Amino acid sequence: MEKDTAIEVKNLTKIYRLYDKPMDRLRDSLGLARKNSFKEHRALNNVSLTVRKGETVGIIGTNGSGKSTILKIITGVLSPTEGEVNVDGHISALLELGAGFNMEYNGIDNIYLNGMMIGFSEEEITKRLDSILEFADIGDYVYQPVKTYSSGMFVRLAFAVAINIDPEILIVDEALSVGDVFFQAKCYHKFEEFKKQGKTILFVSHDLSSISKYCDRAVLLNQGVLLGEGTPKKMIDIYKQVLVGQYPLPKGEGENLLDDEDIRKAAASAADKGGKRAAGGDEKASDASSKDNKSGESPSKDSKEKADSTNPDTLEYGDGAATITDFFVTDEKGTRTNSIIKGTEFTVHMKVRFDKDVAAPIFAFTFKNIMGIEITGTNSMVEKAFLDPVKAGDVKDISFTQKMTLQGGEYLLSFGVTGFEQNDFTVYHRLYDALNVTVVSDKNTVGYYDMESKCIVEDAK
């Protein structure tokens, strides 16, 4: 293992035996089981992963994808069926509520119990006791048996122990979702401190905004297989494909998926099922543009600006029932542009062609910042603007008009057409990060958007 590596996972596989009857489990434990008395479930399938020292790495995936299993193997709670794990550094882990706590002991006793299990002496824990109690902030309840705690109090104490014993590696499994908003803010502030101190953080979360904001890298697991790893933005976009069942499958068992470029191409291929797609212009517009070029004529100002602001690496996918053939933004004067002045009205436009009958399509757009964090967005269902059926061959022009209150800066605009097929959420066509929009501002407040506050200062009466 290299010197700058904190965690190294090599070809990790975890297999569970699933029995139909408790008696079959007993027979198997006694060596008397028939060959077909159980089924094998691969919670992890040939997963390899490296986490460097000082990195904050997030693991995302659907329920049952193996996220918690890999953390438990890294921390030594579980043993792998195959493969190996190497760790360089002192680990503190918060895997799940109840892990490592004796429910009959009070909070103080459990602090010492947990600290000693991690490898600290009684004297070392005593030195950190005040900071642990201050962080947990559960008052005199710390002297009561843990079994009397609420789930919020429990996670406060558990996280306070895990994060205040000064570990080199912190591992957290979705525990922060239990605490209240103030406690979560305190925890994430601690994450920032850890990052500045060069600590290594590995955590599982379904909060994609936290993954985008705090992680240097993200790892995507699905059904025990490593789908990919890379920037949080890329992995979150692919994860959203996984959620709707539109992503390329591995070629063989235990084989990792394609690299990011292959995933993008496969996703685009899926979106092409319904007919020729056009990201940024329909076929007629594309043909016209081609003719213009052949004739030597200069493209229009609108087409130039659109070409400059359209992302050539737009991630697109869908089942082919609909295709977004055009998309653009206009300012308050109705002029196509990718620059909007803060405080003015603007409109998001999209044109959609339907290649199949759809009972009730939903049209949507989303703004992200350059870190991939979704800032705002809406759809036609939320706005109660359109809930009608459409026929194959129909073409719809959709527009969303609103006031620009985002702070000045660069943003990425995504578009989508979705709906429900027999109560199942279905993506007909999505274009992620398709268009760059620049917000021009001479006054930026704190945060993502401006509340347009009116400030009045008067002499006291």
Q: Is 270 exposed, middle or buried (0-12, 13-18, 19+ CB in 10 A)?
A: buried
Average pLDDT over residues 226-251: 82
Share of the chain above pLDDT 70, in %: 84
Range 175-185 average pLDDT: 66
Res 443 pLDDT > 80: yes
Residue 3 in this model has a pLDDT that exceeds 80: yes
pLDDT value at residue 173: 83
What pLDDT is attached to residue 278? 36
Q: What is the pLDDT confidence band of residue 294, given thresholds at 50, 70 and 90?
A: very low
pLDDT (mean) for 174-191: 71
Distance (Å, rounded) from C-alpha 332 to C-alpha 336?
A: 10
Q: Which residue has the higher pLDDT, 117 or 221?
A: 221
Q: Which of 407, 428, 430 is nearest to 419 (CA)?
A: 428
Of 143-157, 303-317, 421-435, the one with minimum mean pLDDT is 303-317
Kindly indicate whether the domain formed by 283-440 is annotated with CATH number 3.30.70.20: no
The two structure tokens encoding residue 128: 């950190």
Least confident of 99-108, 197-206, 283-292: 283-292
- The rounded mean pLDDT for the chain is 82
Question: Hey, which residues does 49 pair with through a beta bridge?
Answer: 9
Where is pLDDT greater, at 284 or 436?
436
Q: Is 328 within 8 Å of 349 (Cβ atoms)?
A: yes
Tell me, letter by letter, the H, E, C secondary structure of 239-300.
HHHHHCCCCCCCCCCCCCCCCHHHHHHHHHHHHCCCCCCCCCCCHHHHHHHHHHHHHCCCCC
CA trace torsion 74, 77, 81, 86 (10° rounding):
30
Q: Which residues contact 110 (CB under 8 A, 6 or more apart)?
A: 101, 102, 146, 157, 161
Is residue 57 predicted with pLDDT exceeding 50? Answer: yes
Return d(Cα 414, Cα 424) in angstroms, integer: 22
Quote the tokens at residue 35: 């060959």
Interval 363-397: pLDDT, tens: 999 999 988 889 999 999 999 999 899 999 999 99
- Per-residue pLDDT tens digits for 240-272: 888 887 776 554 433 444 444 443 443 344 334
Average pLDDT for residues 354-362, to the nearest whole number?
96
Which whole number is the average pLDDT over 65-77?
91
pTM reported for the whole predicted model: 0.71
SS3 20: coil
Query: pLDDT confidence of 414, banded at 50, 70, 90?
Result: very high
Q: Which helix (H) or strand (E) holds 420?
A: strand 409-421
On the 0-12 / 13-18 / 19+ scale of CB atoms within 10 A, 97 is middle
Q: How confident is the model at residue 283 (pLDDT cuts 50, 70, 90)?
A: very low
**DSSP state letters, 41-72:** EEEEEEEEEEEETT-EEEEE--TTSSHHHHHH
Answer yes or no: are the C-beta atoms of 200 and 169 closer than 8 Å: yes
Q: In the chain, where are the structural domains located?
A: 5-259, 283-440
pLDDT of 357 > 50? The answer is: yes
Quick one: pLDDT at residue 98?
57
Question: Per mean pLDDT, which of 12-26, 33-47, 132-146, 183-197 is the most reliable?
Answer: 132-146
> Model confidence over 15-41: pLDDT tens digits?
988 877 787 777 777 777 666 677 888
Between 249 and 344, the more confident residue is: 344
Q: Are strands 217-222 and 225-230 parallel, antiparallel or unpaired?
A: antiparallel
Instruction: Decide if 157 contacts 110 (C-beta within 8 A).
Output: yes
User: Which band of pLDDT confidence, cut at 50, 70 and 90, is reported for residue 220?
Assistant: very high
Confidence of residue 99 (pLDDT cuts 50, 70, 90): low
Low-confidence winner among 246-250, 284-288, 324-328 (lowest mean pLDDT)? 284-288
5-259 CATH: 3.40.50.300
Token code pair at residue 159: 């996280």
